[in-house]
């Protein structure tokens, strides 16, 4: 298989794998553990997606994106979402400016913090739906329209949002249209005993890591193009489609747990996410075609925010991850289906 690969693609693949590991290493200077979360964030960035991080306070969600911004030579902006934040505070506004020399006045657009390349939407669920909606066009189309004028955001453009799952007072749940624009929803769990010791050693002894920038915007855009050249065979493509359709209640591929507990299943964006994520996993493994295991690896983070439970599921305390795990276990690959 490797003999048929364009030497330029093979060289680009080796360079990408080295850069990916370098990014891991730089982030690891600051972030202890959470390897799956780090890999998920990097995967989304390098295929052109966005990430929603969920976890209780103090687990390093904000620190992760700040460290990533240092390891990548891109424009970084942090937006602290609050109930009084307005859309204009994010995207910018048009003001009247006066030329000191001529005294002439003209309308001028003042760019908001959304006009960056890495945007941290901190505690995104604390802002009102009106303000949250300011991100919709930017996340999907990488443009912002103000006063009838369309402004194009600089590539690459990456949004990482955080939310706290335990404080619900004064928060506004993200609407489905907003959630669906995130490639992954990553759950940040508590650190284990050894990780806590390392965190203690680093944060109470004057430890100051030197984070080096190891990738720039052109390299990230190049990686996004490279990932799309990875092949997904028809039988793997069909498996990805069936995985997404298995989340649709009463659908042709729904299993019992889906029909019993799910109200709404995943949109076509889930298929796009699983495909791109599988391609990047293959690339990291030195392969030029995606496999079943590549898709399975990212199934939960790609799907958990796209599936809504019905009343029965919520009443019985069933989690979305439990439903999806059973869907993954009971949806056969093509070979398994034939057997």
Averaged pLDDT for residues 249-259 = 90
pLDDT digit string, tens, across residues 108-147: 778 889 999 999 998 888 888 888 888 888 898 999 888 7
SS (H, E, C) the chain: CHHHCCHHHHHHHHHHHHHHHHHHHHHHCCCCCCHHHHHHHHHHHHHCCCEEEECCCCCCHHHHHHHHHHHEECCEEEEECCCCCCHHHHHEEEEEEECCCCCCEEEEEEECCCCCCEEEEECHHHCCHHHHHHHHHHHHHCEEEECCEEEECCCCCEEEEEECCCCCCCCCCCCHHHHCCCCEEEECCCCCHHHHHHHHHHHCCCCCCCCCCCEEHHHHHHHHHHHCCCEECHHHHHHHHHHHHCCCCCCCCCCHHHHHHEEECCCHHHHHHHHHHHHHHHHHCCCCEECHHHHHHCHHHHHCCCCEECHHHHHCCCCHHHHHHHHHHHCCCHHHHHC
The token pair at 152 is 């194009």
Shortest CA distance to 233 belongs to which of 284, 303, 294, 297? 294
Domain 1-86+114-199+214-229, CATH number (from 3.20.20.140, 3.10.20.30, 1.20.1560.10, 3.40.50.300): 3.40.50.300
pLDDT at position 339 over 80:
no
Band (1; pLDDT cuts 50, 70, 90): very low
pLDDT of residue 151: 86
Q: Is the pLDDT of residue 38 over 80?
A: yes
CA distance 224 to 48: 6
b/e code 38-62 from CB counts within 10 Å (16+ = b): bbbbbbbbbbbbbbbbbbeeebbbb
Is cis: bond before 190, omega within 30 of 0?
no
Q: How far apart are CA 213 and CA 196, in angstroms?
A: 26
**Given this model, what pLDDT does residue 170 score?**
63
Q: Which of 182, 169, 59, 71 lies closest to 121 in space, CA to CA?
A: 182
Residue corresponding to tokens 């794998």: 17
- Mean pLDDT on 15-36: 86
Question: Is the pLDDT confidence value at 278 over 60?
Answer: yes
Roughly how many angstroms between the first and final C-alpha of the chain, as a whole number? 27
Cβ pair 215, 158 in contact under 8 A: no
Distance CA 11, CA 1 (A): 15
User: Domain coordinates of the chain in residue numbers?
Assistant: 1-86+114-199+214-229, 230-339
* Distance between CA atoms of residues 233 and 241, nearest Å: 12
123 Rama sector, left if φ>0, alpha if ψ -120 to 50, beta otherwise: left
The pairing of strands 308-309 and 262-264 is antiparallel
Under the banding of pLDDT at 50, 70 and 90, the label for residue 173 is confident
CA-based R_g, the chain, Å:
22
- Band of the pLDDT at 11, cuts 50, 70, 90? confident
Average of per-residue pLDDT across 4-22:
81
pLDDT in tens, 174-217: 888 888 999 999 988 888 888 888 888 887 887 788 888 888 88
Listed residue (220, 267, 237) closest to 45, CA to CA: 220
Average pLDDT over residues 224-252: 91
Length reported for the chain: 339
CB 221 within 8 A of CB 281: no
Residue with tokens 């194009």: 152
240 pLDDT above the threshold of 90: yes
Cα dihedral 29, 30, 33, 35 sign: negative
CATH entry 1.10.8.80 includes domain 230-339? yes
pTM score, two decimals? 0.86
């Amino acid at each position: 298989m490797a003999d048929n690969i364009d030497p330029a693609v093979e060289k680009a693949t080796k360079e990408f794998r080295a850069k990916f590991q370098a990014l891991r290493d730089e982030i690891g200077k600051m972030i202890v553990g959470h390897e799956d979360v780090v890999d998920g964030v990097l995967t989304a960035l390098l295929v052109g997606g966005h990430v929603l991080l969920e976890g209780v306070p103090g687990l390093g969600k904000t620190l992760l994106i700040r460290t990533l911004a240092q390891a990548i030579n891109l424009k970084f902006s942090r937006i602290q979402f609050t109930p009084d934040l307005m859309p204009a505070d994010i995207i910018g506004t048009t003001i009247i400016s006066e030329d000191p020399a001529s005294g002439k006045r003209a309308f001028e657009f003042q760019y908001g913090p959304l006009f960056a390349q890495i945007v941290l939407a901190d505690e995104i669920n604390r802002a009102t739906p009106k303000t949250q909606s300011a991100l919709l066009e930017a996340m999907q189309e990488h443009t912002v329209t103000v006063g009838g004028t369309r402004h194009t955001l600089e590539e690459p453009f990456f949004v990482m949002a955080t939310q706290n799952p335990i404080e619900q007072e004064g928060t506004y749940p993200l609407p489905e249209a907003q959630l669906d624009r995130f490639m992954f929803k990553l759950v940040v769990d508590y650190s284990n005993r050894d990780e806590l010791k390392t965190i203690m050693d680093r944060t109470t002894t004057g430890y100051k890591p030197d984070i080096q920038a190891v990738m720039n915007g052109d390299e990230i855009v190049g990686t996004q193009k490279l990932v799309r050249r990875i092949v997904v065979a028809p039988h793997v493509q069909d498996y990805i489609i069936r995985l997404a359709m298995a989340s649709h209640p009463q659908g042709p591929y729904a299993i019992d747990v889906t029909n019993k507990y799910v109200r709404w299943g995943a949109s076509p964006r889930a298929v796009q996410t699983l495909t791109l994520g599988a391609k990047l996993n293959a690339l990291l493994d030195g392969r030029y075609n995606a496999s079943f295991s590549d898709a399975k690896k990212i199934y939960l983070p790609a799907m958990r925010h796209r599936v809504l439970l019905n009343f029965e599921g919520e009443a019985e305390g069933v989690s979305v991850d439990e439903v999806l795990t059973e869907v993954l276990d009971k949806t056969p690959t093509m070979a398994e289906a034939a057997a």
